[in-house]
Structure 1
């Protein structure tokens, strides 16, 4: 099985990975803005959008994305997609030229020694809600992602439109929650030796910006950009600034001829 990947534009290859419950379409406005200067590849993760399900586990998701990439690329991963991007960099470094995790953490769940992720109870409540009220659970989760942003109404419309257009498979949502709950890259970040731009929303309630900055500092070539007044979806609420900063990073990470 192969994943659905929509490609457009010309220039350096940039792969975009969406968050839990959505699809590659969430990146479409950004891709339209950037397609004159980069080749944008919008991936539907397993069981999301137009991609088939059947893949279980973070490594299988990462391998499925990597197998659909023809050339080394900059990989941009939002939230859950950031974990997939990190797994790709560990497993398939020849496919990942640079990383840009967006509103993501190396460990997305809080622990006694890690206070920057989501509460375990929140993930478990989301899991229970999938079987009790599928659509309401997804909508409420999406609302959490943009609380505190000045453009929250627009962001919510964008997220909901993507959800309504291509609802994910329930099995894929379960597997995505498993990844969010289990993945932990804290001890392996120092081994990922590629340029990495970690992007944080200053008002993010799901991926605390201090945790994002910590992750960037663990990597040999990591840096952090904190987007003021943004929450969990800075590429939606601050699209123009996000596009400009991402383009600068992509150009700076291009190999020297």
Structure 2
């Protein structure tokens, strides 16, 4: 039986960001890439982390491994909390249980950065979105190519303003740290060594709280290691999912 993998993108981009990964995993894994509400041509009527999470689980082909990048990872993490029977493993890429800094959380974005992003969306939607996404890959190897790739993705399937605003709300409000110790499924956390949004030390802290997690620090990568280290990422994902298949899906 082919192992099942469902992928969620991050804030501002569509599921097409996973096209290269799907191509590399063809024949090894059954890969489903889903759009977030308000992204990839979907409407944004669903709001709130739990509702976004339930929307994901309803659209999954069946129980399997979830892979989420950044905001998508937060939704996948919450799916493991709310629907553990549907999540046989997690791959969290550039993802934190809390994305905003606070008195007891020194990592993530400053609250003011999210506020400024929201204001920028209202004033100049396209430029603000492009600037936010480009900052995520500036420290990556081949950054110029990655910037072009993200820009083309934005032009092809731009997200809606309500979807972007709902996503910012999730990034600002969500705090899944208390849930980590209760997530008893295998987890692969993928941290870019140069990630400015999801610091690798914060991801290491998250891995320490999870009962069955491992951390892969990707050298010279920033927030999008699946783009900058495409082949290594695909191989690591395939190995992780395939290793779960005999134990979780009864392979013979």
Secondary structure of the equivalent of 2:108? coil
Q: Of 136, 157, 168, which residue of structure 1 is paired with 2:159?
A: 168
| C-alpha contact 2:192 2:224 (8 A) present in aligned 1 | yes
Q: Does 1:122 align with 2:108?
A: no
Q: Does 1:131 align with 2:126?
A: no
Q: Does 1:40 align with 2:8?
A: no
Secondary structure of the equivalent of 2:226? helix
Secondary structure of the equivalent of 1:188? helix
Q: Of 186, 199, 204, which residue of structure 1 is paired with 2:190?
A: 199
**TM-score normalised by structure 1 residue count:** 0.94
CA deviations over 1:88-112 (Å, ceiling 9, x no partner): 1111111111001100101101112
Any gaps of 5 or more consecutive residues in structure 2? Answer: none
Other-structure match for 1:31: 22
Cα distance in structure 2, aligned partners of 1:247 and 1:217: 23
> Mapping of 1:1-16 within 5 angstroms?
11-16=2-7
- Superposed displacement of residue 59, structure 1: 0.5
Question: Displaced runs of 4+ in structure 1, greater than 3 A?
Answer: none
CA deviations over 1:216-238 (Å, ceiling 9, x no partner): 11111011100000000000000
Cα distance in structure 1, aligned partners of 2:246 and 2:54: 24
Other-structure match for 1:159: 150
Q: Of 200, 210, 221, which residue of structure 2 is paired with 1:209?
A: 200
| C-alpha contact 2:73 2:95 (8 A) present in aligned 1 | yes
Q: Of 59, 63, 77, which residue of structure 2 is paired with 1:68?
A: 59
| C-alpha contact 2:193 2:222 (8 A) present in aligned 1 | yes
Q: Of 93, 100, 115, which residue of structure 1 is paired with 2:91?
A: 100
Other-structure match for 2:232: 241
- Superposed displacement of residue 150, structure 1: 1.3
Cα distance in structure 2, aligned partners of 1:81 and 1:136: 22
- Superposed displacement of residue 255, structure 1: 4.1
Other-structure match for 1:218: 209
Cα distance in structure 2, aligned partners of 1:28 and 1:22: 12
Other-structure match for 1:6: none
Cα distance in structure 2, aligned partners of 1:19 and 1:116: 18
- Superposed displacement of residue 187, structure 1: 1.3
Secondary structure of the equivalent of 1:56? coil
Other-structure match for 2:47: 56
**TM-score normalised by structure 2 residue count:** 0.96
Any gaps of 5 or more consecutive residues in structure 1? Answer: 1-9
Other-structure match for 1:89: 80
Secondary structure of the equivalent of 2:38? coil
Root mean square deviation, CA, Å: 1.0
Secondary structure of the equivalent of 2:234? helix
The structure in which a higher percent of residues are helix is: 2
